[in-house]
A and B are shown apart, each in its own frame.
Chain A
Amino acid sequence: MKRHLTEEELIEHQFKLASDEQAVGRAEHLAGCAECRERLEQLGQKFAALDLLAEDIPASEELISQAIAQAKHPAPRRIVPFGKYHWIGTAAAVLVVGFVLMMGNLNKQAATRRESAETSKSEAGRSASLPQVEEEPEMMLVAKELADESATMLEEALVSRQTARKSAAAPPVADTASPTDKFGTDPTSRPDTPTEADLYAYAPGRGPAPDTAGTRPVRLPTLEQEVDLKDAPEFGTQLAATVRRKLAGAEISEEPPFAPASAIELVTLPRRDDVQLTIYNSADLTLVREKRNLTLKQGWNWLQLMWANTLIDPTSLSLEPAAQAGKIDVQQLVFPARLRELGRWLIRSEISGQVPFEITYFTSGLSWRAFYMGTLSQDEKTMRLAGYVRVANNSGEDYENAQTRLLVGKVNVLDKIADLAKRQYAYDRPGMDTAGDDYDVSQWGFQAKNGDKVPLLGDVPIVGELFRAGDLKPKEIKKEGLSEYFLYTIEGTETIPDKWGKRLPSFDVEDIDIESLYKYDEQRWSKQAIRFVSFTNDDEHNLGETPIPDGTVKIYGQAGEQGELSYVGGASIKYIPVDEEVELNLGPARLVKVEPKLMSFETDNYVFDNRGNVAGWDEIRTWRIEITNTRALPIEIEITRGFGTAYWKLVLVDVASRAEDAISYEKHDATHARFTLKRRPNSKWTFGYAVTTYHGRRQGQVSE
């Protein structure tokens, strides 16, 4: 390479960005070219400046602790690819085949039925003493419920067969078919209680072999046919098919269940898939819209929602299917007695499977507020204004990847959401007479229309009577007056965990023309000048795209050659619509002083009435006002003087001769005059005026 290397080539060489071939050629050139070596060295020195920023920034212990605290939940485990373990699929297939064979071998199960029946009394007795089952924490799968249902039907059929058989061939045993225990729940429905189906269907080896009495015909009430146990394999197949047919074509009862028969029937809310927050700044109010996929079974479903330790307003809960709306009917939201901070929706579904639902509710504890930072230019003629919003979450609920909207405007809320959320019961206490004459809840229960007393928990003999449309008259919360608002939508989504806050940029506008003005008005701010900065929220001032929400403003000035920032003052601003002027009160000015002095006072022009009493007079006051500007910038100041009467006349006196010092005044209102003047940097100046005020009859004379 005969020519010298360019700067780009030297950069590529220095940072090893060139291809190998190019690098070799350039290295050879550099070896023989002192000039290029020198330029390379200079370039290296220049890039050495980058090392000034090379040091790491130490992460504070607090920051590290916060980061570690995020890992308090167990890390998600590695997902093992199913394809690597073919035996799992094989095992599943074996299980399925086994199940089919089991269905076909009911005759073997019959061998153990008698002994099982004899032992069932003790089993039932044991199960009756078991504590009430705990509610399952997560959503129960429909498949499980369907399996439970089919097992129950099979079980009923088998129990009937077994009972009929016992009556003919075995000595009578104690009654084991009692449907409920002392808790009012069916023991067989408990997951931890061995069911009859367990005992018969899944314990073929238990007990002695059956006798041959199985050849007797047995009546199956559910299938309404007689089956000889010799034909049991075929019967098993038929029974399974019948159950399947029954399940597939089952009619949904029109009568809604009063309450879930057991905790296992409950579906608890799964994780949310999507969430939108609309946070109001005028009230402690946030509208939450969530989307969750619920798995429903055909028929009646109970969906349980708990809001303990949150600030959700339970009276605002709403649930709507986002799909299949015609086949799903959300009938009612029930707040069971003695169960605090939970509600249960009763949903009638004509389909089975996953359905997206939209849940909306109000919560408190989420808030946002705007704040602004203004930086004045050195000549204080322009300002840079940056707006931020700070969103804080103290609602007790984590919101992940939430679409966040901020609403500006007045909302009239009749009840404070926080108060509603803190109630133990959503709508007053159970037993309070709030719902009309249909309720007689003197003893923690309802009086049904037919006169029967119905307990609030447990199995209920009468269903459908109590919760017909119109019976529940929940108190309405009126959230109204949603008008004249402006909605800010934060781009993308935000994750705002509970107890966290987040600051987000809203806008940042340079070169806003401002007017800086000092004001002096003793009646408003006593004897001190107040500094104001004003601008207009319009296009001319590079603003005006949106209203500016109320918030606090901090103003910084630039001082020194390097323009270091210094805090000048702060102010609160109200909601500023587009094209409205903003005036920021930055507080008392320390470098601008206004000192009025009363120089003389006299009275004149007395008027007397017929009796010789004073009926009118003039008062003449002469004032001298000294203005001191110790700032390095010229200032404009507005001095307002009040006279306590609408009858006054003002004459300037002692005015400096120079033209730039000329002042003028205007009548600000009936009782005030306002002087506006500009002062040079680092100057002191005085001006005077004499004001004559008219009293009594003199007022009338002056008016004429």
Chain B
Amino acid sequence: MEETDKNLIDAHLQGDREAFGELVRRYGDSLLGYLTKICRNREQAKDLFQETFKRVHEKAHTLRSNQFKSWLYTIATRVAMDGLRRDNRVRMVSLNQQIDCDGDNCPELGAVAVAADCDDPSQEASKAEQKELVRRAVESLPDRQRATLVLAYYQGLSYREVATALDCSIGTVKTQMFRALRTLAQRLPDISGVAK
């Protein structure tokens, strides 16, 4: 039977390194996806990923409830917001991303690779283009709105959990979500006919 997150944290506090590794593997993919969407930059997302789990390790003793996931995203959001605040002086966009990124994990190269390998290259190319437009639309949102959208829509957190993660009220979460969606309604491309 799969260990609960809380059990793993408790084991980690007892010095079980395997337990911490299990937590990292369990939430690594979704956390990296979240951070990449939040900070728009893959390399920075990796840094923030490390920083997040470092804080999880350091603050593990403060986790009281069984809500590890929302606690993890609380930490990740704070780490990401700190990072974004630092970068707001100058927005960091990696110009060498195509060179630095590692094949399938690179959004742009991934899209190209899909287009090259698929049965219907024209459709896949169109999909890659649509994906890029969606990505730009999401990235154009203000930080707070983007964080709310990513947590609620992509990470599947309830509005209550999002409120916990962002340290605000549910009303604020709903307002941010509504504003994000209203903006996206104007900016999202029409994808009818494009295979998802």
Binding site for B on A (CB under 8 A): 7-8, 11-12, 15, 17, 43, 45-60, 63-64, 66-68, 70-72, 74-79, 373, 375, 386, 388, 491-492, 495, 502-508, 554, 556, 565, 567
**Residues of A close to B53: CB separation below 8 A:** 67-68, 70-71
Say whether, besides A46-B190, A48-B196, A56-B30, A71 and B12 are in contact (CB < 8 Å): yes
A23 nearest CB across to chain B (Å): 12
Q: Please measure, in the bound complex, the distance between the C-alpha atom of A57 and the C-alpha atom of B49, giving whole angstroms.
A: 12
Q: Please measure, in the bound complex, the distance between the C-alpha atom of A55 and the C-alpha atom of B36, giving whole angstroms.
A: 12
B178 touches A70 (CB 8 A): no
Say whether, besides A373-B95, A491-B89, A12 and B178 are in contact (CB < 8 Å): yes
A54 touches B154 (CB 8 A): yes
**Residues of B close to A373: CB separation below 8 A:** 95-96
Say whether, besides A74-B15, A505-B92, A59 and B28 are in contact (CB < 8 Å): yes
Which residues from 1 to 53 on chain B have a C-beta closer than 8 Å to any C-beta of chain A? Answer: 12-13, 15, 17, 20-21, 24-25, 28-33, 36-37, 43, 46-47, 49-51, 53
B29 touches A50 (CB 8 A): no
A565 touches B134 (CB 8 A): no
A59 touches B32 (CB 8 A): yes
Q: Please measure, in the bound complex, the distance between the C-alpha atom of A48 and the C-alpha atom of B36, giving whole angstroms.
A: 20
Say whether, besides A43-B185, A48-B196, A386-B95, A503 and B135 are in contact (CB < 8 Å): no
Question: What are 10 sample pairs from A and B whose C-beta atoms fall under 8 A apart?
Answer: A48-B196, A58-B105, A59-B49, A64-B25, A68-B24, A75-B15, A76-B61, A373-B95, A502-B47, A565-B95
A75 touches B13 (CB 8 A): yes
Let me know if B164 is at the binding interface, CB within 8 A.
no
**Residues of B close to A504: CB separation below 8 A:** 86
Say whether, besides A47-B181, A70-B57, A505-B92, A63 and B32 are in contact (CB < 8 Å): yes
A58 touches B29 (CB 8 A): yes
A56 touches B32 (CB 8 A): yes
A52 touches B185 (CB 8 A): no
**Residues of B close to A43: CB separation below 8 A:** 185
A63 touches B188 (CB 8 A): no
B129 nearest CB across to chain A (Å): 8
B13 touches A77 (CB 8 A): yes
Nearest A residue to B174, CB-CB: A17
**Residues of A close to B46: CB separation below 8 A:** 63
A558 nearest CB across to chain B (Å): 11
Partner of B50, one of A47, A66, A72, A554: A66
B95 nearest CB across to chain A (Å): 4
Q: Please measure, in the bound complex, the distance between the C-alpha atom of A76 and the C-alpha atom of B9, giving whole angstroms.
A: 12
Say whether, besides A57-B32, A59-B32, A70-B53, A505 and B188 are in contact (CB < 8 Å): no
**Residues of A close to B82: CB separation below 8 A:** 492
**Residues of A close to B174: CB separation below 8 A:** 17
Let me know if B138 is at the binding interface, CB within 8 A.
yes
Let me know if B102 is at the binding interface, CB within 8 A.
yes
Say whether, besides A15-B177, A52-B130, A52-B191, A75 and B138 are in contact (CB < 8 Å): no
A193 nearest CB across to chain B (Å): 34
Query: Taking each of A48, A67, A505, which has the highest tally of chain B beta carbons within 10 Å of its own beta carbon?
Result: A67
Sample of 19 more A-B contacts, CB < 8 Å, known A47-B188, A55-B33: A7-B185, A47-B181, A48-B191, A50-B184, A52-B196, A56-B33, A57-B29, A57-B33, A63-B50, A66-B50, A68-B53, A70-B57, A71-B12, A71-B20, A373-B96, A492-B82, A505-B90, A506-B90, A508-B92
B131 touches A60 (CB 8 A): no
B111 nearest CB across to chain A (Å): 10
Let me know if B120 is at the binding interface, CB within 8 A.
no
Q: Please measure, in the bound complex, the distance between the C-alpha atom of A491 and the C-alpha atom of B90, giving whole angstroms.
A: 12
B79 nearest CB across to chain A (Å): 12
Let me know if B167 is at the binding interface, CB within 8 A.
no
Partner of A491, one of B47, B58, B86, B127: B86
Chain B contact surface mostly: helix
Say whether, besides A49-B189, A63-B49, A17 and B33 are in contact (CB < 8 Å): no
Nearest B residue to A556, CB-CB: B95
Nearest A residue to B191, CB-CB: A49
Say whether, besides A63-B32, A78-B61, A46 and B92 are in contact (CB < 8 Å): no
A51 nearest CB across to chain B (Å): 6
Nearest A residue to B20, CB-CB: A71
**Residues of A close to B29: CB separation below 8 A:** 56-59
**Residues of A close to B188: CB separation below 8 A:** 46-47, 49-50
B61 touches A11 (CB 8 A): no
Q: Please measure, in the bound complex, the distance between the C-alpha atom of A113 and the C-alpha atom of B37, giving whole angstroms.
A: 77
Query: Taking each of A52, A60, A74, A554, which has the highest tally of chain B beta carbons within 10 Å of its own beta carbon?
Result: A52
A636 nearest CB across to chain B (Å): 25
**Residues of B close to A71: CB separation below 8 A:** 12, 17, 20, 53, 57
A51 touches B57 (CB 8 A): no
Say whether, besides A66-B50, A68-B24, A79 and B61 are in contact (CB < 8 Å): yes
B130 touches A78 (CB 8 A): no
Q: Please measure, in the bound complex, the distance between the C-alpha atom of A50 and the C-alpha atom of B102, giving whole angstroms.
A: 24
Partner of B177, one of A17, A46, A48: A17
A46 touches B49 (CB 8 A): no
**Residues of A close to B89: CB separation below 8 A:** 491, 505
B49 touches A67 (CB 8 A): yes
B14 nearest CB across to chain A (Å): 9
Say whether, besides A8-B178, A45-B191, A64-B24, A554 and B96 are in contact (CB < 8 Å): yes
9 nearest CB pairs, A to B: A59-B28, A505-B92, A56-B29, A56-B33, A373-B95, A67-B53, A71-B57, A78-B61, A49-B191
Q: Please measure, in the bound complex, the distance between the C-alpha atom of A388 and the C-alpha atom of B134, giving whole angstroms.
A: 28
Query: Taking each of B89, B154, B181, which has the highest tally of chain A beta carbons within 10 Å of its own beta carbon?
Result: B181
A68 touches B17 (CB 8 A): yes
**Residues of A close to B87: CB separation below 8 A:** 505
Partner of B36, one of A57, A66, A567: A57
B168 nearest CB across to chain A (Å): 15
Partner of B95, one of A49, A55, A66, A375: A375
Query: Taking each of A386, A502, A505, which has the highest tally of chain B beta carbons within 10 Å of its own beta carbon?
Result: A505
Query: Taking each of B53, B184, B189, which has the highest tally of chain A beta carbons within 10 Å of its own beta carbon?
Result: B53
